[in-house]
Amino acid sequence: MNISIKLTGQPKTKPDENKLSFGKQFTDHMFLMNYDSEKGWHNPRIEPYGPLSIDPSTNVLHYGQGVFEGLKAYRTKENKVLLFRPDENAKRLKSSCERLCIPPIDQDDVVEAIVSLVKTDIDWVPSSAGTSLYIRPFIISTDPFLGVHPSHTYLFMIILSPVGPYYPTGLNPTSIYVEDFYKRASKGGMGHVKTMGNYAASLIAQEKAIKLNCIQTLWLDAHEGRYIEEVGAMNVFFVIGDKVVTPELSGSILPGITRKSTLEIAKSLGYKTEERKITIDEVIEALESSEMKECFGTGTAAVISPVGELIYKDIRHTINNNKIGTISQTLYDTLTGIQYGTIKDTRGWTVEV
């Protein structure tokens, strides 16, 4: 791709690295590329970060024909900047595009666009412990038209945000509320791809969770309300007995890149792993019999996030005395070690910018 670059004349003041939360500040530049049926994807460019001007009838504002991704750039002690598995995000973006009838972008072009933008704003990659540069690629439909059909024009953008922990509690265990009325996604729906509507559908239950002092919702399947699916912004793992267990990819949960990486790391460290159907009854029984040793979520934003409490049907169940477990900590240390370059990456997961 021939990416044109127009630099800002007014660089912003960077935020205090020790006070970073998630997704509130944005860097100096953004990437844009347009699609129309004549030219295909064209005009890749980097410009100063700023607001968009769009027609009020723009398709995505009404029907949500849009997809997004999330990945991070990490600064190592040697001052290198590493991306973690950007090819996997490009692949998932393609699969999200297919489900939403959006013309896919060549996966190498997606990675090239990410690398070019991060290079342009490389000074924004923070270096304090636990911080990183969150990368948000997204595509929106842009036809100014109120009829319901796939748009003929699209905009692909990437924005960057220096971030600290996703949850204000950091690596302290969170409380999670098991939602038994609302559903997030069903088979044949869009739960397996990263599109805006899934998150809109989740908000009402998240509000319930917050009232109960919980940080997020654990979803059950839409058909029977029995099977564990995933948490609002992360996949979920349980340590039951001596096994590290996570729900299989059912078609209605997001195939998380952190999930996939965690499974590989767990296997390589000698833990027994299982991807299978898990019922909420099995989870509650394991909690009551103390077979449930640990629980954690995995996600780019959330990293590996221990769960200390599950609230189901008004009962609070405590896990591992509300402390991070040994397996969760080991997996966290190994994953973040690879991401921050303190553990040798033998799998070719990291890409230097």
Query: Which residues here bind ligand PLP, judged by CB under 6 A?
Result: 70, 230, 233-235, 254, 256-259, 298-300
Q: Which does 278 bind (CB under 5 to 8 A by kind): ligand PLP, ligand COI, none?
A: none
Least Å from the CB of residue 249 to ligand PLP: 11
| Nearer of residues 64 and 256 to ligand PLP, judged by Cβ | 256
3 state DSSP class of 104? coil
| Nearer of residues 70 and 308 to ligand COI, judged by Cβ | 70
Quote the radius of gyration of the chain (alpha carbons, Å).
20
> Quick check: 20 and 131 in contact, CB under 8 A?
yes
3 state DSSP class of 49? coil
Residue 145 amino acid letter: F
Q: Which does 336 bind (CB under 5 to 8 A by kind): ligand PLP, ligand COI, none?
A: none
| Nearer of residues 22 and 145 to ligand COI, judged by Cβ | 22
Residue 80 amino acid letter: K
Name the residue among 278, 280, 271, 353 with its Cα closest to residue 313: 280
Least Å from the CB of residue 334 to ligand PLP: 15
Q: Is the dihedral of CA 77, 80, 85, 89 positive or negative?
A: positive
Least Å from the CB of residue 301 to ligand COI: 3
Name the residue among 209, 233, 166 with its Cα closest to residue 309: 209
Count CB atoms within 10 A of the CB of residue 216: 27
Least Å from the CB of residue 253 to ligand PLP: 7
| Nearer of residues 261 and 320 to ligand PLP, judged by Cβ | 261
Q: Which does 257 bind (CB under 5 to 8 A by kind): ligand PLP, ligand COI, none?
A: ligand PLP
Q: Which residues bind ligand COI (CB under 6 A)?
A: 70, 233, 299-301
Name the residue among 249, 242, 238 with its Cα closest to residue 307: 238
Q: How far apart are CA 179 and CA 20, in angstroms?
A: 30
Count CB atoms within 10 A of the CB of residue 340: 20
Q: Which does 339 bind (CB under 5 to 8 A by kind): ligand COI, ligand PLP, none?
A: none
Count CB atoms within 10 A of the CB of residue 77: 9
Closest residue by beta carbon to ligand COI: 70
Q: Which does 353 bind (CB under 5 to 8 A by kind): ligand COI, ligand PLP, none?
A: none
Q: Which does 29 bind (CB under 5 to 8 A by kind): ligand PLP, ligand COI, none?
A: none
Least Å from the CB of residue 21 to ligand PLP: 17
List, in sequence order, every beta strand (DSSP E) within the chain: 4-5, 29-36, 40-48, 66-68, 71-75, 81-84, 132-141, 154-163, 174-178, 216-220, 228-231, 235-240, 243-247, 272-276, 292-299, 303-312, 315-318, 350-352
Return the structure tokens found at 168: 């204000």
Least Å from the CB of residue 257 to ligand COI: 9
Least Å from the CB of residue 59 to ligand COI: 22
| Nearer of residues 46 and 244 to ligand PLP, judged by Cβ | 244
Q: Which does 259 bind (CB under 5 to 8 A by kind): ligand COI, ligand PLP, none?
A: ligand PLP
| Nearer of residues 265 and 301 to ligand COI, judged by Cβ | 301
| Nearer of residues 70 and 189 to ligand COI, judged by Cβ | 70
| Nearer of residues 199 and 271 to ligand COI, judged by Cβ | 199
Least Å from the CB of residue 100 to ligand COI: 16
